[in-house]
Structure 1
C-alpha cells in the first residue's frame, strides 16, 4: 500500500497523446492527478471523465496536471476518447493489473461480454511535483467517487494554505 508522504514509484504507460507517458516527466506547478478509471465498459466512468473534461481548464489553472489511466487496451481507450468526447483529457492505457494492485487499486473480473476479463476499479492519486503522495481516494466499486468541483474547492485551500500531508503516521 502506498503511504502519503512517500515518493511513489515511476509509472510508464502507453498514451493516446504520446508514445509513452512517464510520471517522472510530469512537471506540474502543484500536483499530478492520476485518475484511474475502470474502462470503456463503464457508463459511470463515461460521466466522470466527461466531468473531468469540463473541469480540465480549472485544474490546469491551479497547476494540476490530470491524466486518466486504465487497464484498457489501446482500441478501447481510443473509443472512450472519441465516443465520450474527451479531447483535452490525457489518456494512458494498458495498465498492468499487477501495477494497479501495487498502487492499492482493487481489481474486478469481468462479468459480461462487454467487460474485459480483468480491470481496475477507480482511484485518484494527488502527487506533489517530486512524486510524493499527497492524497488518495480508492473505491472498490464504480460509484461514490469524489466530485471534481469539490476537489477544485479543496485544492484552492490546499494550495493557498500550503496544507500539510495527513495520513502519513
Structure 2
C-alpha cells in the first residue's frame, strides 16, 4: 500500500543534486521566492517529459509573477540528466538522483522499465507538489502514467489567483480519507 501526501501536509525534507552539482532541498524556494513548484518527471527516456519540460520553460515568467519558484527532478543518473539537457531548452533548475525511498516518501507512482533500452532503473511517474511559504503542500497532483499532467497555462493562472491576497484562497482538499 502506498502512502500519498495530502494537501496541507508539511512537505518532507528531500535533498537532490542539481545539474550544476549543488545539492538542493525540494520545497525550499530560492531566495527571491516564497513558494516552490516541484515537478517530478519520468526521465530522459520519456519524450512526453521532454516536451513538458520545454513547455514549462515557456511559463516560467508566469510562475515567477506569482512568486513561485520551479524545479524539475527525476530518478535519472547524472549522465542521463546531462543527456536530457541536450534535448531541452530550460530556464529553471533541474535535478537528478531521486531515490526509490524518496519517491515513496513523496507518494508518487513508481514504474519499472519496459526494457533496458527504455532506462536502467525504476522511475517516478509524473507528480507536482506546490509548497507554500509555511512549507505546507498547497497543491498536489500525481499521475500513474505520462499522459496525465496539469495543463501549465491553467496551473500558472491558478497559482497567480491563489497567491493574490484579495482572494484569501485556502489549501483545498484537506479532508483526505
The residue that corresponds to 2:168 in the other structure is 162
Task: Mark the CA change 1:29 to 1:162 in structure 2 (over 3 Å): closer, same or farther.
Answer: farther
- Following superposition, the deviation at residue 82 of structure 1 comes to 2.2
CA separation of 1:25/1:124 partners in 2, compared to 1, >3 Å: closer, same or farther?
closer
- Separation (CA, whole Å) in 2 of partners of 1:162 and 1:68: 28
Residues 10-159 of structure 1 aligned to structure 2 (within 5 Å): 10-23=13-26, 25-26=28-29, 27=31, 29-86=33-90, 88-112=91-115, 113-159=117-163
**4+ residue segments displaced more than 6 Å:** none
CA contact (8 A) 1:28 1:64 kept: no
Preserved contact between residue 30 and residue 62 of structure 1 (Cα < 8 Å):
no
- Please, what TM-score do these two structures have when normalized by structure 1? 0.92
Once residues 155 and 69 of structure 1 are traced to their aligned partners in structure 2, the CA distance between those partners, rounded to angstroms, is 20
Equivalent residues of 2:41, 2:125 under 8 A apart: yes
Contact kept, 8 Å, 1:68 with 1:91, in 2: the verdict is yes
- Describe the superposition over 1:34-72 as per-residue Cα deviations: whole angstroms up to 9, x where unpaired: 000000000000110001111112211221101000000
Q: 5+ unaligned residues in a row in structure 2: which ranges?
A: none
Q: Residues 61-92 of structure 1, C-alpha deviation per residue, up to 9 Å, x if partnerless? A: 22110100000001111111222122x12111
- Cα 1:100–1:114 change in 2 (3 A) is same
